[in-house]
């Protein structure tokens, strides 16, 4: 989009707003508008502040388009989604309405100047219970069976993957879960990664090779309850599909910030 010499909005094809849209009998128009793929969306919220019109909000853990007339279809939100969940499609929709945008902002209880904060980075105080001292004064033995453990660094093949039960864990899980070694790590080959701060593209590529070329017995993915952490589940599932190994038993475990297991599927 650009400005014509008269200051009107121009799309990349050189048409202005009136030429670009075709009105049907219902009063709707055929135009470009945001489409959000809920299967790919992790609810991380990175798209929210980049939508100048406030047309996108996180509702029930997913990014949602609040109303068609709030979206101008210019796609400022596209480049910030790390999972390509947002695209632009051309379809019949309500016409963009700047007055509706202003009215929605006025009705919003959240001040316009207050930026969206991802639940994963929201500071909160926890109330940990005192740890009971071990009878012998020592903790139990480590259940780690190999090194390294970071997904970027683990070898793509070798004995650690042979007939292995694999654990793909988000970085924070081991810090939050008090019995991580006994509950999740024991007997498993582990690889850890951060789906929020890291580029998951190389992770998907590496996991695809690992799953395709090794006799893996099962896969467990452990992630935190915050929406952006589910990206590690998406990465593992995508790698399984690309490797053609959907036959491998797959489960995912959701861990709360208080260290408890919230869900296991």
Asked, as a colleague might, if the bond just before 93 is cis with ω within 30 of 0, I would say: no
Residue 148 makes CB contacts below 8 A (sequence gap 6+) with: 154
For the CA atoms of 185, 186, 187, 191, what is the dihedral angle to 10 degrees?
20
pLDDT at 160 over 60: yes
Same structural domain, 17 and 114: yes
Same structural domain, 167 and 248: yes
pLDDT at 97 over 60: yes
Crossing angle of helices 231-243 and 200-213, in 10° steps, is 40
Same structural domain, 37 and 100: yes
pLDDT at 127 over 80: no
Same structural domain, 23 and 94: yes
Number of domains in the chain: 2
Same structural domain, 188 and 114: no
Let me know if residue 152 belongs to a domain.
no
Let me know if residue 229 belongs to a domain.
yes
pLDDT in tens, 138-149: 667 899 999 999
At 87, which CATH number? 3.30.70.20
Same structural domain, 21 and 83: yes
At 190, which CATH number? 3.40.50
Question: What is the extent of the structural domain holding 85?
Answer: 9-118
DSSP symbol at 105? H
Residue 151 and residue 236: Cα distance in Å, rounded?
12
Let me know if residue 19 belongs to a domain.
yes
Same structural domain, 194 and 110: no
Instruction: Please compute Rg for the chain using Cα positions.
Output: 23
Residues 203/181, Cβ–Cβ less than 8 Å = no
Residue 27 and residue 265: Cα distance in Å, rounded?
46
Same structural domain, 25 and 80: yes
Q: How far is CA 168 from the centre of its chain?
A: 16
Same structural domain, 13 and 112: yes
Same structural domain, 239 and 163: yes
Instruction: Give the three-state DSSP class for 248.
Output: coil
Same structural domain, 201 and 110: no
Distance (Å) of CA 124 to CA 60, 182, 243, 254, 258:
20, 27, 39, 19, 11
Let me know if residue 219 belongs to a domain.
yes
pLDDT in tens, 105-124: 777 655 544 555 555 556 65
Quick one: pLDDT at residue 50?
Answer: 78
| Lowest mean pLDDT segment, chosen from 41-55, 99-113, 117-131, 208-222 | 117-131
């Amino acid at each position: 989009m650009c400005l014509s010499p008269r200051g009107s909005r121009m799309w990349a094809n050189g048409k202005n707003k009136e030429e670009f849209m075709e009105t049907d009998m219902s009063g709707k128009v055929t135009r470009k508008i945001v489409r959000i793929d809920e299967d790919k969306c992790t609810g991380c919220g990175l798209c929210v502040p980049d939508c100048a019109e406030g047309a996108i909000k996180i509702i029930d853990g997913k990014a949602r388009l609040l109303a068609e007339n709030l979206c101008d279809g210019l796609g400022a939100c596209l480049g910030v989604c790390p999972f390509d969940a947002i695209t632009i499609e051309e379809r019949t929709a309500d016409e963009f309405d700047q007055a509706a945008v202003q009215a929605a902002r006025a009705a919003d209880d959240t001040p316009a100047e207050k930026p969206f904060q991802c639940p994963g980075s929201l500071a909160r105080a926890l109330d940990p219970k005192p740890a009971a001292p071990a009878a012998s004064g020592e903790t139990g033995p480590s259940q780690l069976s190999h090194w390294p453990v970071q997904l970027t660094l683990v070898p793509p093949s070798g004995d650690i993957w042979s007939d292995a039960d694999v654990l793909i864990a988000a970085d924070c899980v081991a810090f939050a879960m008090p019995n991580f070694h006994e509950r999740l790590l024991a007997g498993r080959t582990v690889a850890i990664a951060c789906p929020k701060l890291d580029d998951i593209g190389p992770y998907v590529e590496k996991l695809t090779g690992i799953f395709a070329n090794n006799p893996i017995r099962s896969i467990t993915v452990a992630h935190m309850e915050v929406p952006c952490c589910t990206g590690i589940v998406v990465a593992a599932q995508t790698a399984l599909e690309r490797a053609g190994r959907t036959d491998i038993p797959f489960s995912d475990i959701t861990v709360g910030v208080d260290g408890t297991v919230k869900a296991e599927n």
